[in-house]
Amino acid sequence: MKEVGKYISIAGLLVFTASATTTIVGQEAGLVLMFVGWLILWRSGWVSGMRRLSLELPLAALAAAWGLSTLFALEPTASLVNMKKLLLVPIAYGFAWLVESERILKTVVMLMLAVALMVSLYGIVGYAGGYGLEESYRVRATLSSTVTLAGVLLFVFAISLSLTLFTNALRERIFLLPVTILSFVCLILTFTRGAWLGASVALVVTLARVGGRKRLVFLVLIAVLIAAPLLSERVTERAASITDVHEMSIRGRVSMWLSATQMAKDNVLFGVGLMDLGKVYDEYRRSDSGFRSGHMHSSFFHILASTGVVGLLAFLWFLYSICALLVRNFALTSGRPGFLNGVCLGAIAGFCAFVVAGVFEWNFGDAEVVSMLYCVVGLTCACERIQSSGGEIA
């Protein structure tokens, strides 16, 4: 039974990994297999590496804050249903517990990046051919929206970039370089400016850890990454609009954030509830609003409006705990620079990009993007365990 449970859980890992950049249905199927396999292992009295990840207390605080928000919500039933987002957190534990060797780790990471490479190619070709686009020019490839694709590719780009610089195997680097370039180009072609800023932060975070000859390689790679998308006039126009406070989308976001702040003032502690905020927003909508939406186009303002000050503080604590865990795992794998350390650095860069993009988009409410976040967190914990055990977990 132990072997059956192990094979089922690993199959779930691979199904989830292959679906991480393509479809939420595949992710859900992978999660079910992971859970079934883990349950068999647990019933057999053998669950490798099962331990806490230091996220339990802030996660409990976040769940409690959301529960109180639901209790006092304008629509308690809808708010209760939306608490299901917390059910994605076990993804981190699944990857942390089940990835028990560097061989499995490389298989999982390379599979994820290989599928992302195909998705990026599909998106770029679609842009060139004028099909599969949103708003007639924005790439969304295999995912439901451009923002979702951009959020997922942020993690792909950050990890592939870091591994390109830190892996010791030439064959791996030959594969990783195209993934880095094409995922970045596809990310640019989503025309999601918040994700562009996030990618810039990922570049800075990675650069801060690169030295010697690798720094020169890194700078050349940056030049290539920046030059390729700028060949499009539409991209340069979109980039120039980032600083235009009068641009409709930017002006509309600022107006929406002011409305969210007013919602929070009227519901200080627990907000209006975890629900579609469209109806509530109509009551607080300002005259300078450029568009209507069911979310506040910002993870931070949306959580402030929906869960109040209590929920926002719990959310910030949760983010801080994730960041502290990622930094710790990176430090613990720094003794042997290579694939493990590269994954951990890429995770930090991807997390920073996720937080920056979250200022401008409700990415914490996007299941595909948050699933990638938890997957990456779990992989860094697996890296730390593999490093401390000498490559294999007994």
Supply the Cα-derived Rg of the chain in whole angstroms.
21
Mean pLDDT to the nearest integer, 224-241: 75
Which is more confident, 215 or 206?
Answer: 206
Rounded-to-integer distance, Cα 94 and Cα 91, Å: 5
**109 token code pair:** 């990471």
Question: For 43-74, what is each residue's pLDDT tens digit?
Answer: 776 655 566 788 999 999 999 999 999 999 98
Rounded-to-integer distance, Cα 225 and Cα 217, Å: 12
Q: How confident is the model at residue 391 (pLDDT cuts 50, 70, 90)?
A: very low
Nearest to 116 by CA among 143, 162, 156, 160: 156
Ordered alpha helix ranges (H), the chain: 2-19, 24-43, 56-71, 76-82, 90-98, 102-129, 146-166, 170-188, 193-207, 213-227, 233-240, 248-266, 278-284, 299-333, 339-358, 367-389
**383 token code pair:** 């890296």
pLDDT for 392 beyond 50: no
Mean pLDDT to the nearest integer, 349-366: 95
pLDDT for 133 beyond 80: no
Give the predicted TM-score (pTM) of the model: 0.92
**110 token code pair:** 């390379």
| Average pLDDT of the chain, as a whole number | 87
Q: How confident is the model at residue 284 (pLDDT cuts 50, 70, 90)?
A: confident
Rounded-to-integer distance, Cα 262 and Cα 239, Å: 31
Mean pLDDT to the nearest integer, 251-256: 88
Strands 138-139 and 133-134: antiparallel
Across 65-79, 112-126, 206-220, 293-307, least confident range: 206-220
Across 15-29, 259-273, 283-297, 370-384, least confident range: 283-297
Percentage of the chain lying above the pLDDT 70 cut? 93
What is the model's pLDDT at position 111?
95
